[in-house]
Amino acid sequence: MSVKVCFLCVCIVTLATSPLVAYEPEWVDAIVTSEAIARRDAAYMSVVSAGLMEPERGTEDAIRLVLSLAEGTRFQQRMLDANPHDPVTLGEFAFMLMLSHEVPGGVWYRLFPGPRYSVRELRARRIILEPGLPSHVVDGDRAFRIVTRLVAMEGEI
């Protein structure tokens, strides 16, 4: 019985930390302790955790990849106009994650793909647990918790 419990604990810890393995330790420390993550770091986090880009490539490549994934949406123009060093909102981050991880959205997301319905979809799937509006800025700790839950639940999506 105790062997099964120990094995289960090891599996949970491995799944919870697997998205963090791909990132540089110094980068992780800087992001986790930041009060607001930049759009470029959010884009990097979303595409690397989805396995769409190697961690060695930079944040500029991550932004270009997110822009290509958002092609044809209003979000693409917003990203083009936005400063990559500005803080990312919860809605923008959720939309980046939905695009990069190919999370199928509900009816409203399919009709109006964007930040608002991305947050609603990830909240319905229990990936975003903490309260917050799509316009709220995301801190580093919350961003890693969201990515960790998304990667852990990815097999169920």
Per the document, the length of the chain is 157
Looking at the whole model, is its pTM more than 0.85?
no
pLDDT band for 76, please (50, 70, 90 cuts).
confident
Q: For 86-110, write each residue's pLDDT tens digit.
A: 999 999 999 999 999 999 988 998 8
For 116, residues 6+ apart whose C-beta sits below 8 A from its C-beta are: 91, 134
Mean pLDDT of 38-64: 92
Q: Which amino acid is at 10?
A: V
CB 119 within 8 A of CB 113: no
Give the angle 46-123-36 at the CA atoms, nearest 5°: 50
Phi-psi region of 85 (alpha: psi -120 to 50; beta: other; left: phi over 0): alpha
Mean pLDDT of 3-13: 46
Number of domains comprising the chain: 1
Would you state the pLDDT for residue 119?
95
Residues of the domain holding 41: 2-156
